Amino acid sequence: MAAVTIDLEAEKKEILKRYIALLRAIGEKADKRDRLQIRKAFDLALDAHKDMRRKSGEPYIYHPIAVAQIVASEIGLGATSVICALLHDTVEDTDVTLDDIRNLFGETESKIIDGLTKIENVFDQSSSIQAENFRKVLLTLSDDVRVILIKLADRLHNMRTLESMARDKQLKIASETLFLYAPLAHRLGLYNIKTEMEDLGLKYTQPDVYEEITTKLKNTDEVRKRFISRFIYPIRTSLVQGGLHFDIKGRPKSIYSIYNKIKIKGIPFEEIFDIFAIRIIIDSPQETEKSDCWRVYSIITDIYQPNPDRLRDWISTPRANGYESLHTTVMSPTGKWVEVQIRSKRMDEIAEKGYAAHWKYKEKNDYESSIDDWLSRIREMMENSDASALDFINDFKLNLFSEEIFVFTPKGELKTLPSGSSALDFAFDIHSEVGMSCIGAKVNNRLVPLSHTLKSGDQIEILSSNKQKPKEDWLNFVVTAKARSKIKSALKEEKRAIAETGKEILDKKLKSIKIPLDSSTVGNLVRHYKMPSALDLFFNIGEGLIKLENLAKIARGEKNSSWYKILRNKFSRSSDSETNNEPPTLENIVKEIRGKSDMLVIGEDMEKIDYKLSPCCNPIPGDEVFGFVTINEGIKIHKSNCPNAISLMSNYAYRIVKARWTNQQQIAFMAGIRVNGIDDVGIVNNITRIISNELNVNMRSISFDSLDGVFEGTIMVFVHDTNHLTELMGKIKQVKGVTTVIRFDTN
């Protein structure tokens, strides 16, 4: 391969150019002393990273400068954060130590960089369980929220430069971003960063979908601009007459939010009415901005008819992440609903930059206390060390994207809860002990059960009894992370007591047949009875649900699944005889599966290692896929855009195996097709004729529903690959009366 010539002089000029742009971004937020410190940090980073390059071949120093630029211009932080952004990789990747940072810059900078280094350490490539790492990441929030803000900037730049990474790394990093970082950006009010992370996440997890929506947005751009121009003309005229100073923007929704609407509502791009929103930003002093926003609302609703169900008032009661805005949806002259957002310049800056922008308008008061309140809730959740890492992250995520409701205590104190919260959630929000002993509630003076779903404006009084204990079914109607965490903890304590009894029963039985109760024996029993954990095994024995028949054979592993035995034998052959007494760990099993090629080829013999096509997404040849190593069911093959893919790749990256289809003999795979259109005589017959006669496809089932002249049909067919399926869908689309034909997952 020919050597690449590097123009070092041109790179030096580019580095200087980027550094000057960074100084411009920090602007007035840095005085002379700050600028000297920033220069010192830049020089130290430049020297420390001088021999390092990124995967793209660029000098490594481009990355810390870019992160510092995001921190300064897109988040709005000051000199301390810029210094830490420039140095964020030095302690991890170079000879620079935390003591060096402390001596050169100070204790604050040292603590922030220490937090960033800890995050980097827990998210390395060899990590086993990403959820456990995320718990550690959140612990660093307790020290200084700037740690996570700089980390978000770091992740955003990594996403912007993901093009140069290998495909499997792209999927892992993008999935992790969608699963953890985008929700965190949302929770901290960083709307722009959250939106860009989601769009880039979609670009790399589902490139075809991303490209399709992007193309359709470009193709409809001119039509949209003309529509927006006509729509805002009378509004602009009336606002000028009203003496208001303002700016009007019309912008399309994010690609990811459009994708979500397509997925959730099951409708094509063309049928989404709110592809864009109109934003009106008024230049008003803080003391009159609220009344001015309502004046604008009044002017707009005089011109266009509003939808009363779509009014959202977040200026009277801001959202938990500080977001303030007034949203309404009005009917345009062409019969389309249009969302209009009304806010002041201050509100807009906070909506765009989140946490940092508040400091411009408030001095350490309300917003700092709300951030502290959020961090204290996280710490409270993490006090429960018994919760598994995955339970913790799932519970935590429940509350990140939730819409909010506002409810009141009997004394009139305002409480913010996620939408869908029950009376029991409210009880736990008051205090853990109140939740544990809750037997019912009075909502607006009316007696309701624990499961009663609360609405904004409700006033709640909790009824309790010291004889009450948490029950398993409580988990079915609580939505807050705190309530779920505390209930699970209490249930686990009770479960542990029963499990201790079960363990004693098992120990006695094993002693009678001279088999030790060790990790190998317990592992064999867990696998045989398909239990999630040893605790569940002991619990089921204690409850009398497992009868322990043929105990000797099962305990010795003689009934292990065939795939696990093959892997164990293979592992044993490739290991020293002294070290193969213990069963292989999942990490070692995955290494054995990957082998030298680091690729699972679906359709090859694979030494008869079991693999199954996952029913949650039913992949077919041609789909981009990956393998997931399960404990009891061999390897499961998932589509890269499977609904569960992001969670699997984020939490179990070490169990992911790259996979591709081999050019094997043609086998039939089941796929689902959904057809919509205008009902017409003989349309079902025309569709089935195409499937059966023209393409010789076997059909497993077909069902059609018709209502008021419109039909929807679902057809289950057996096809050879994605090309075969696409050809079939194209033929069906040509049938007169059919409007849409889409593939759907058949789980």
CATH number at 451 reads 3.10.20.30
Query: Of 540, 561, 582, which closes a domain?
Result: 561
- Look at residue 431 and tell me whether its pLDDT is greater than 50: yes
| Within a domain: 382 | no
92 noted as active-site residue: yes
Shared domain for 50 and 188, answered yes or no, is yes
Higher pLDDT, residue 577 or 485: 485
pLDDT band with cut points at 50, 70 and 90 for residue 679:
confident
Which phi and psi angles does 581 have, rounded to 5°?
-75, -35
| Within a domain: 598 | yes
Read off the pLDDT of each residue in 336-353 and give the average, rounded to a whole number: 87
Measuring CA to CA, which residue among 533, 487, 747 is closest to residue 631?
A: 533
pLDDT band with cut points at 50, 70 and 90 for residue 465:
confident
| Within a domain: 1 | no
- Domain that residue 584 falls in: 564-661
Higher pLDDT, residue 579 or 350: 350
Higher pLDDT, residue 266 or 591: 266
Shared domain for 557 and 568, answered yes or no, is no
| Within a domain: 675 | yes
Shared domain for 25 and 139, answered yes or no, is yes
As for how many domains the chain has, the answer is: 6
Find the catalytic residue in 14, 58, 92, 721. 92
| Within a domain: 278 | yes
| Within a domain: 541 | yes
pLDDT band with cut points at 50, 70 and 90 for residue 1:
very low
Shared domain for 271 and 319, answered yes or no, is yes
The dihedral sign for the CA sequence 727, 730, 732, 735: negative
Shared domain for 603 and 538, answered yes or no, is no
pLDDT band with cut points at 50, 70 and 90 for residue 539:
confident
Higher pLDDT, residue 643 or 341: 341
Shared domain for 303 and 337, answered yes or no, is yes
The CATH number of whichever domain residue 679 belongs to comes to: 3.30.70.260
Shared domain for 551 and 588, answered yes or no, is no
Residue 98 has what pLDDT?
Answer: 86
Query: Of 537, 561, 585, which closes a domain?
Result: 561
Shared domain for 633 and 722, answered yes or no, is no
93 noted as active-site residue: yes
Shared domain for 727 and 622, answered yes or no, is no
Shared domain for 222 and 200, answered yes or no, is no
Find the catalytic residue in 34, 58, 93, 143. 93
pLDDT band with cut points at 50, 70 and 90 for residue 128:
very low
Measuring CA to CA, which residue among 676, 686, 663, 674 is closest to residue 715?
A: 674
Pick the most confident of 337-346, 508-517, 533-542. Answer: 337-346
Read off the pLDDT of each residue in 531-556 and give the average, rounded to a whole number: 79
The CATH number of whichever domain residue 246 belongs to comes to: 3.30.460.10
Residue 2 has what pLDDT?
Answer: 46
Residue 69 has what pLDDT?
Answer: 93
Query: Of 298, 327, 361, which closes a domain?
Result: 361
Residue 355 has what pLDDT?
Answer: 59
Q: Are strands 710-719 and 698-707 parallel, antiparallel or unpaired?
A: antiparallel
| Within a domain: 390 | no
Shared domain for 467 and 502, answered yes or no, is no
| Within a domain: 376 | no
Distance between CA atoms of residues 606 and 14, nearest Å: 50
Give how far Cα 633 sits from Cα of 324, 519, 745, Å: 49, 21, 21
pLDDT band with cut points at 50, 70 and 90 for residue 457:
confident
Tens of pLDDT, residue by residue over 550-584, are 777 777 765 444 455 555 555 554 444 444 445 55
Residue 30 has what pLDDT?
Answer: 79
Which residues contact residue 646 at a Cβ distance below 8 angstroms, ignoring those fewer than 6 apart? Answer: 175, 178, 179, 205
Shared domain for 190 and 333, answered yes or no, is no
Read off the pLDDT of each residue in 328-336 and give the average, rounded to a whole number: 86
Measuring CA to CA, which residue among 590, 591, 572 is closest to residue 581?
A: 572
Residue 596 has what pLDDT?
Answer: 43
Tens of pLDDT, residue by residue over 14-56, are 889 998 988 888 887 778 888 899 999 999 988 888 888 888 7
Pick the most confident of 137-146, 641-650, 661-670. Answer: 641-650
Read off the pLDDT of each residue in 91-108 and give the average, rounded to a whole number: 86
